[in-house]
A and B are shown apart, each in its own frame.
Chain A
């Protein structure tokens, strides 16, 4: 298996633009997670899905952030409009067993200018 696949690897955009991050989880995994990593705040859970249904979105910063999981093999995290403070590395992870044994992707480095 190729592991969790995220795209793009790097994204540079201007403030106010829409950003869409993509994730393909490991086949057969039924839980999917979006994390944000910054020096100041460490690893923060934004949202987690189980069987394509959002279970915990308490970490989504505000209405500018939205996440979807239309099927078991694809998820998106959208930021609209983007702001400089959204600059971070965004990780997608998947697991077979909810909050245990997470497999992380390589991340998307987002820079909002």
Chain B
């Protein structure tokens, strides 16, 4: 089955700096890659997603890049703010009749003042 690895597990940045979280996946047929943000005491919330036919997608301060050849994708947050502090999860969706969505292990991002 699909295996999604996520790094780093924790990340601390100063307010205003950029943060990058990386994920790799094992199934080359995976075609959909979402990123979720989970704040303390809440459920994960979708913040951005990308399909395998697109190399990059941006939404204000967040962007996701996908390298299908290397089977990795990354989340980039620019001009970080304290409210960006949360746990971020990547995921990959396989194709076919037994399609599955597999989550990474999460990255705890701390934005310090």
Contacts and interface: CB of A to CB of B under 8 A. Distances in A.
22 contacts: A42-B103, A42-B105, A42-B106, A43-B103, A43-B106, A56-B98, A91-B44, A98-B99, A99-B93, A99-B100, A100-B32, A100-B34, A100-B49, A101-B34, A102-B44, A103-B46, A104-B36, A104-B44, A104-B45, A105-B43, A106-B41, A107-B43
A78 B100 CA distance: 23
Interface string A54-89: 001000000000000000000000000000000000
Given A98-B99, A99-B100, A43 B44 contact: yes
Nearest to B41: A106
B93 A106 contact: no
Interface of A: 4, 42-43, 45, 56, 91, 93, 98-107
Contacts of A104: 36, 43-45
A106 B43 contact: yes
Interface string B73-104: 00000000000000001000100001111011
Chain B interface size, as a band, is 20 to 34
Complex A-B, nearest 9 residue pairs according to Cβ-Cβ distance, in ascending order: A104-B43, A99-B101, A43-B103, A42-B105, A104-B44, A99-B93, A91-B43, A107-B43, A105-B43
Contact of B32 (A42, A43, A93, A99): A99
Given A56-B100, A102-B46, A107-B42, 8 more contacts: A4-B43, A42-B106, A43-B103, A45-B101, A99-B32, A100-B34, A100-B93, A101-B34
